[in-house]
Amino acid sequence: MSAEGPLGGSGIDTDVRPLTPVLTKRWLSPRSWTIQTYEQLEGYTALRKALRAHPDQLIQLCKDSGLRGRGGAGFPTGMKWGFIPQGDGKPHYLVINADEGEPGTCKDIPLMMADPHSLVEGVVITSYAIRANFAAIYVRGEALHCVRRMQAAVNEAYAAGYLGKNILGSGFDLDVVVHAGAGAYICGEETALLDSLEGLRGQPRLKPPFPATSGLYEAPTVVNNVETIASVPFIVNGGADWFRTMGSERSPGPKIFSLSGHVTNPGQYEAPMGSTLRELLELAGGMKDGIPLKFWTPGGSSTPLFTAEHLDVPLDFEGAAEAGSMLGTTALQLFNETVSVPWAVMKWTEFYKHESCGKCTPCREGTYWLAQILQRMVRGEGTPQDIDTLLDICDNVLGRSFCALGDGAVSPITSGIKYFKDEFLALCRENTGRSNSGESTVDDSGKHVLAGAH
Amino acid sequence: MTTSESMAARESGTDGDEVFGSDIADRARALMARYPRSRSALLPMLHLVQSVEGYVSQRGIAFCADQLGLATAEVSAVATFYTMYKRRPCGEHLVSVCTNTLCAALGGDDIYARLGEHLGSEGRPLGHEETSGVPGKRGSITLEHAECLAACDFGPVLQVNYEYYDNQTPDSALQLVKSLQAGEKPPPTRGAPLTDFRTVERQLAGFFEGQGGSLEDTVNGPSASAETVRGAKIAEERSWTAPPMPDSVEFPPLADKK
């Protein structure tokens, strides 16, 4: 693979390898989670450099690097930091979204277990850049071992003078709290996370105002993903041009791709943005037992499905979008030909139904009915009309929900029907053949019976 | 009464009037002091309450409300929103089986069904969030099906008290649960040595000293399985690295103030 970076003539070696361990490079080291190991491997050198710079220089560096949020949406990180009003006399906050729960996503938990100090160092640098003196790391409650590793790392950082008052003699103060969630997928949505961190039900807020002006405790707040902030120390040490040697012009940098499912060697593979599933699959030993790939998610269940036709789609923000999906969290869930698409879609829909926070009607009601229609279809009691009903409901949920959970919920359904409509129809034919209940959506009075209403 | 005596009294249920003694109230206040605004302590405080009673009782809700100056309805509204707050007493162990799509396709549904059958009685499988045995007593188990546990490369996975047991099969999961019922504590694939539900709830509240070992004891439990370091390992074997960083890097100049 050759880099298409903009750096010809910069003197930086642009012969980029298929795997580019940056965030994952310390993971093989013994006791990689301790401060001793971290400091032996350049740990906290970026912080020393950063504290000698002006905070605005760090924001500019982050903008120059092109770093984009690794939590799914891909928002430019430096721009987000730049939105924080400075000199406003209000406290500023940094909140780390470590509430990993998007189905298929399993990158932040291994990162926090293996290299928690990279996140802590990124937190200190970012807080300095945005002038925050309090940061919270909101860790998914079920990820207890990460809570331990993060807490131990924070304790070690305090003891070493990387946190607390007058950090390394810079005059900068920062306190960090490791906060365990309590089991709610919706808290991965940044404003729901903020409400949850304030001790409320985790329900999304109406935007605007955005967290940059009114976030935690109504104060300017940056909310960033674990992988995003763990990238920051490397950008400080390597510079924007170095970061851009990996990945593509608009989606630079390395990325942790998580391969799971029917693959020979599932796991974490850190490769340049824009790598393809074909390349990653080769590194992962191909499909398990040689059974061909049927469908996959590029970035969690909220990103529309891809099929074997998409093996060569460049997995960066632009490439995934141009091919009709989204990069999301680069959670590549691979399913082989033994898996029924309507069944998989039903299972995901049950998940969204369970995790819908209930605040807005399209998502709360939509996911409820979508799940029941799909359950009925999978039982073999569906009709072709159900497919139209599903799409109609999806149309009423997509873009009409309060937050992105509703949009995510319809992704597996609409993309599943788009690529595998025959499978949905086959389930209906089975029904017609068995019980001749093609009319089962019409009751005795001729009235349309709602899905699930039996 | 020492802390350990009061803990023992609570666990045996003989100290009803002082379920939440001064030691627990001290911890609640310590939580409130961690945040710029005290109400942020509510989620960890509910974990703390669960560490005492094995669930969030009405008494626990009143305790939190009292500490934070909230109405009990406000605390209830929060407690009922989150999956990890249990409304009925849990077993010594909480077994959570991922039945989201990917784990289910790899066998998670079968694991959940097998465990439900084994733990059920009178021909009826144990249901979601139901408990086999006397809650809190040795070998008692609460079973639940969980949403994606963010360990998809290890699927199918389950957790016992939020410690990961990776790459399970119906047989291995059944064996694990039988061991738990017999009072054994098989070590997790990733996580700290197994304790019990109440102990890990205390850790989730942010208190690591006490039964189950210090933070130093628990933090060193295993984490990096083969799946985690697969890419890093291949890169090492093939001497692949990220492009080298330049020797020195200048920060961008400060923009002129407008």
SS3 B145: strand
Helix axes A45-52, A116-130, angle to 10 degrees: 0
> What confidence tens digit (pLDDT) does each residue in A42-72 have?
999 999 999 999 999 999 999 999 999 999 9
Classify residue B119: in a domain, yes or no. yes
**Which of B79, B110, B139 delimits the end of a domain?**
B79
B96–A217 C-beta distance less than 8 A: no
pLDDT digits (tens, 9 = 90+) for B220-242: 988 878 999 999 999 999 999 99
Could you tell me if residue B254 is inside a domain? no
Cα–chain-centroid distance for residue B32?
21
Decide if B52 is inside a domain.
Answer: yes
Closest Cα in chain A, distance from residue B7 (Å): 22
Q: Do B164 and A145 touch (CB under 8 A)?
A: yes
B232 within a domain of the structure (yes/no): no
Domain, as residue range, for B106? 93-214
Same domain as B208, residue B102: yes
Give yes or no for a contact between B97 and B158, defined as CB atoms under 8 angstroms apart: yes
How many interchain CB pairs under 8 A, A with B? 301
Residue that terminates a domain, selected from B197, B214, B231: B214
Closest-CA residue of chain A to B231: A269
Question: DSSP letter at B53?
Answer: H
Check whether residue B98 and residue B70 sit in a common domain.
no
Nearest Cβ partner of A54 from B77, B250, B254?
B254
Q: Determine, for residues B149 and A142 on separate chains, whether the beta-carbon distance falls below 8 Å.
A: yes
Q: What is the pLDDT of residue A431?
A: 76
With pLDDT > 70 as the criterion, what percentage of chain B qualifies?
92
* Model confidence pLDDT, tens digit, residues B129-164: 999 999 989 999 999 999 999 999 999 999 999 999
Q: In terms of domains, do B49 and B124 share one?
A: no
User: What's the domain count of chain B?
Assistant: 2
Statement to judge: residues B120 and B69 lie in one domain: no
State whether B83 and A184 contact (CB < 8 Å).
Answer: yes
Q: In chain B, whose CA is at the least distance from the CA of A341?
A: B101
Same-domain pairing of B73 and B135: no
| B20 and B99 inside one domain | no
Same structural domain, B34 and B102 = no
Residue B249 lies in a domain: no
Looking at the structure, tell me whether residues B75 and B97 fall in a common domain.
no
Indicate the angle between helix axes B170-181 and B109-119, nearest 10 degrees. 30
Which residue in A has a C-alpha nearest to residue B103's C-alpha? Answer: A261
Cβ neighbour number for residue B193 with a 10 Å cutoff: 15
Rounded CA gap, B135 and A189, in Å?
A: 34
Q: Tell me which of A240 and A432 has the higher pLDDT.
A: A240
Q: Are residues B58 and B109 in the same domain?
A: no
Cα(A356)–Cα(A368) distance, integer angstroms:
9
The answer to whether A306 and A325 have CB atoms below 8 angstroms apart is yes
- CATH number of domain containing B47: 1.10.10
Chain B touched by A197 (CB under 8 Å):
yes
Regarding pTM above 0.90, the answer is yes
Task: Render pLDDT for B177-207 as a digit per residue (tens, 0 to 9).
Answer: 999 999 999 999 999 999 999 999 999 999 9
CATH of the domain at B174: 3.40.30.10
- Whether residue B257 lies inside any domain: the answer is no
Q: Find all residues with CB under 8 Å of A305, minimum gap 6, and list them.
A: A295, A296, A297, A325, A341, A411, A412, A415, A416, A419
User: ipTM of this complex > 0.90?
Assistant: yes
Residue B198 and residue B101 share a domain: yes
Q: Are residues B62 and B136 in the same domain?
A: no
Q: What is the pLDDT of residues A178-198, one digit of tens each?
A: 999 999 999 999 999 999 999
Minimum Cα–Cα distance from B257: chain A residue: A56
Tell me how far apart the alpha carbons of residues A390 and A341 are, in angstroms, rounded to a whole number: 15
Quick check: A122 and A230 in contact, CB under 8 A?
A: yes
CB interface of A with B, residues 348-367, below 8 Å: 348, 351, 354-355, 357
- Reduced to 3 states (helix: H, G, I; strand: E, B; else coil), residue B193 is coil
A169 CB within 8 Å of a chain B CB:
no
What pLDDT score does B106 carry?
A: 98
Which residues of chain A does B227 touch, with a Cβ-Cβ cutoff of 8 Å?
265-268
Q: Which of these three, B25, B52, B79, is where a domain ends?
A: B79
A114 at B interface, C-beta within 8 A: yes
- N-to-C CA span, chain B: 66
Give the three-state DSSP class for B163. strand
Taking contacts as CB-CB distances below 8 angstroms, the residues of chain B near A12 are 243-244, 246
Identify the structural domains of chain A with CATH numbers, from first to last.
35-243 (3.40.50.11540), 254-336 (3.10.20.600), 341-435 (1.20.1440.230)
For residues B156 and B98, the answer to whether their CB atoms sit within 8 Å is: yes
- Regarding whether B137 and B200 lie in a shared domain, the answer is yes
- CB pair distance less than 8 Å for A20 and B227: no
